[in-house]
Amino acid sequence: LIPTRADCLALDAADPLAFARERFALPDGVIYLDGNSLGPLPKATTERLRRTVEQEWGQGLIRSWNEADWINAPLRLGAKIARLIGARPHEVLVADSTSVNLYKLASAAAALRPERSVILTEPGNFPTELYILQGIAEQLGHKLRVRTVARDALKDALDAEVAVLVLTHVHYKSGEVHDMAALTARAHEVGALTVWDLSHSTGALPVELNAAGADFAVGCGYKYLNGGPGAPAFLYVAERWAEAARSPLSGWMGHAAPFEFVDDYRPASGVARMLCGTPSILAMAALEAGLATFDEVDMAQVRAKSAALSELFIALVEARLPGVFELASPREPALRGSQVSLAHPHGYAIMSALIETGVIGDFRAPDILRFGFTPLYTRHVDVFDAVERLDAVMADRRFEHPRYAERAAVT
C-alpha cells in the first residue's frame, strides 16, 4: 500500500525526534535533502557567533584564549563528538579539514607498520582519500604503494603486506555501509591498522569505534554535524595508539608545552599531539553550536527514522515513477547510510530542475541524483512532497530545457 500524504502527517505527529526541527532556521518553501553535504543553519549558531565575535573577540581580545577557554576548543568539541561515534571523550580532537586529518593519521598509522608496503583502499572511494594516499606514497619515495581493491574482495586482499586499510564507512555516492567491525577484525588478524572516514556516518547513524576496535578515524564537521560551510573536521586516535602515533605535521600547537617556546619538538600526550597550528575559533564556535543540535538526541532513534524516511522515498519513487530511475543505493536499509541515490542519464538536468521547485538534493557525476534524509529536521511529509515535485519535473520533461544542462562550479 502506497503511503498517502495524510499517512505521512500522522507519522510526523508520532515522531519522537520532531522536537529537533525547531533547532534549525530552514528557509520557507524549501525541502532540504542535502544535509549530507552541507548541514543547514542551526538557530543557535547566529547568536553564538555574535557572542564569540562581539564579546569574546571584541571585548575579551587575546584574554579570551584563557577566559573563554578558546585554547581547549579542539578537545572540548572532540569530547562532544565522541558520544556520536562510540569513542571515549579523550580520543577525539577537532582540527583542520578531513583531508588534512586523513593525511596525519594515515601517515601516522603507516609509520607504526614500517616493515609493510601497502596502503589498501577501494577504487571509487571519495577522491580525497585516494589523492591523499597517493601523496603519502609519493612522499615516501614509493616505499609504500596504494592498492585499490573492489569492496567485495577487500577481506581477502588483507595480507601481511598491508600496513593500513583506509576506507570510508558510508560511501559518499551510493551510501553503502562497510562492516566496520568485521573489516577491522580481519585487518588486525593480519597485523594491519585501520583508518575510517566517518564523514557520511557521524550524526547519521550510530557508530561504534571502540566496540569495533578501530585504530584511527576522521570525519567532517559540515555535513550531518551542522557546523557550517568548511567547518573544522575531527579525528579519532584509539587510546592504545595515543602515545605511539606521531603527527607528520609537528606544529607548535601539538607540542607538549607550546608556551614554553623551546627549540625541540616533543609531542603532547594523547590525541592533542595531532593538533598542528592555531584553530579557527570562529569556525569552532559555529561547530559547537552545530553539535548542540544533537543534545538529547538518541542515535538509535535517528537511525530508525533515517531508515523510515529513505524507505518511504524509495517506495514513493517506485510507485509514482516506475522504471524511470535506477536505485543506486543498497535496497536493504541496514546496508545504507542516510541517503538514497538514484541513477538517470539526465541526472544533472533533473536535479537542477528539481532544485528550482524548492527540493534541494545534489548530483554526483556521472549520473547520480543524491537525496539525504537527515532525521533531525526532515519530516515524512517533506519526503512525500519532494517525490510529488520530482514526479512533476519528469511528467512535463521540463528538465530537457538546455538551461538545466549548464553545469555550475559546485554540483
Q: Which residues are catalytic?
A: 126, 197, 222-223, 370
Residue 64 is a binding residue for ligand PLP (CB under 6 A): no
Residue 126 is a binding residue for ligand PLP (CB under 6 A): yes
Residue 168 is a binding residue for ligand PLP (CB under 6 A): yes
Q: How many CB atoms lie within 10 A of CB 239?
A: 13
In the bound complex, what is the minimum distance in angstroms from residue 8's beta carbon to ligand PLP?
29
- CA-to-CA dists, residue 100 to 9, 94, 131, angstroms: 43, 12, 11
Residue 217 is a binding residue for ligand PLP (CB under 6 A): no
Closest CA to 306 of 153, 161, 201: 201
Q: Which three cell numbers stand for residue 89?
A: 571523550
Q: Tell me which of 18, 60, 71, 97 binds ligand PLP, using CB under 6 A.
A: 97
Q: Which three cell numbers stand for residue 358?
A: 524548492
Q: Tell me which of 172, 234, 384, 404 binds ligand PLP, using CB under 6 A.
A: 172
Residue 103 is a binding residue for ligand PLP (CB under 6 A): no
Q: Which three cell numbers stand for residue 79?
A: 569530547
Q: Tell me which of 45, 64, 99, 247 binds ligand PLP, using CB under 6 A.
A: 99
Beta carbon nearer to ligand PLP, 173 or 305: 173
Residue 154 is a binding residue for ligand PLP (CB under 6 A): no
User: How far apart are the C-alpha atoms of 151 and 163, rounded to whole Å?
Assistant: 18
Q: Tell me which of 34, 176, 197, 367 binds ligand PLP, using CB under 6 A.
A: 197
Phi, psi of 148 (to 5 degrees): -105, 130
Residue 202 is a binding residue for ligand PLP (CB under 6 A): no
Sign of torsion over alpha carbons 195, 189, 148, 161: positive
Q: Which of residues 222-241 bind ligand PLP (CB under 6 A)?
A: 233
- CA-to-CA dists, residue 92 to 37, 105, 187, 304, angstroms: 22, 12, 22, 26
Beta carbon nearer to ligand PLP, 200 or 255: 200
Q: What is the CA radius of gyration of the chain?
A: 22
Residues that bind ligand PLP (CB under 6 A): 97-99, 126, 128, 168, 172, 197, 199-200, 220, 233
